[in-house]
Amino acid sequence: MITGRTQNLGVIGWPIAHSLSPVMQNAAIKQAGLDYNYTALPVAPENLPAAVAGLKAVHYRGWNVTIPHKAAIMPLLDEVDEAARIIGAVNTVLNDNGRLVGYNTDYLGFMGALNSRGIELSGKTAVLLGAGGAARAVVWGLLQAGTAEVVLAVRNPAKAQPLVEDFSPYGRVTVCHWAEDLFTEQLRKCSLLVNTTPLGMTPQVEACPPVVWEALNPKAFVYDIIYTPAQTRFLREARQHGHEAVNGEEMLAGQGAAALELWTGCQPDLDCMQKALHQALG
């Protein structure tokens, strides 16, 4: 029951009605018996400064941040965690007694699905399809895990170059074109193949990055950060070629769990969050 002592949490974005964060966060809050409440909050881009000031004024304990505010919110905060600064995006804000601190838990969510399966990437090669905003958190997570080389396979290498330059101080990051022979060579040696593009997402479910599956290392793990649909064409083809694969549901639940732990100091039930999310996705 919500009372005057209940601490408030939320997610801000525009639009936000589609967000599944309230479903999984409130499931974990209930499971843990915490006196918190989590709500979706629609915030138009032009109202972001006012919204941040308002949430601080009414003592929200914290909130998640989604499109289109992940970068725009950064100068409005008192402090930005190193990982969020390097990634260039904040997805979680903690109100620490009036001091707003920004974090990025997306990379933790991404790595969680790999860590839970015991996939060791230290000294290995990972190939990422795409180099957009979603790829930045993935690159940081992989470099933190000791991945020897992160290869960005893209349609436009020039557009990917800024990402290479931003992350090269922290590890080996290279880029190649999807149509180059180098892409095929990297597929043969990689231990992980990740789709960070929107290709295959609902409603364009038959879209798929141009992977030559016969060239991919037969032992490579395949990861699609898309979660709608649950099985993209990319994942379906990977499994047909004998690869172990996972979609983005665990990443979404994992980043939410990491955020909830920041706000409450309690480690939430990740299985509970994943189950609530899976049920909501149908």
User: Which residues are designated catalytic?
Assistant: 70
Structure-block tokens of residue 239: 């499994």
**Residue located via tokens 């032009």:** 46
The verdict on whether omega for the bond into residue 203 sits within 30 degrees of 0, i.e. cis, is yes
In whole angstroms, how large is the CA radius of gyration of the chain? 19
Q: Structure tokens of 270?
A: 């990740």
Phi-psi region of 265 (alpha: psi -120 to 50; beta: other; left: phi over 0): left
Residue 46 is given by DSSP the state: G
Q: Report how far residue 264's alpha carbon sits from residue 34's, in angstroms, rounded to the nearest whole number.
A: 8
CA distance 35 to 30: 8
Residues 6+ apart with CB under 8 A from 80: 74, 90, 101, 102
Task: In whole angstroms, give the CA distance from residue 35 to residue 51.
Answer: 23
Closest CA to 129 of 243, 219, 214, 207: 207
**Is residue 193 classed as helix, strand or coil in its secondary structure?**
strand
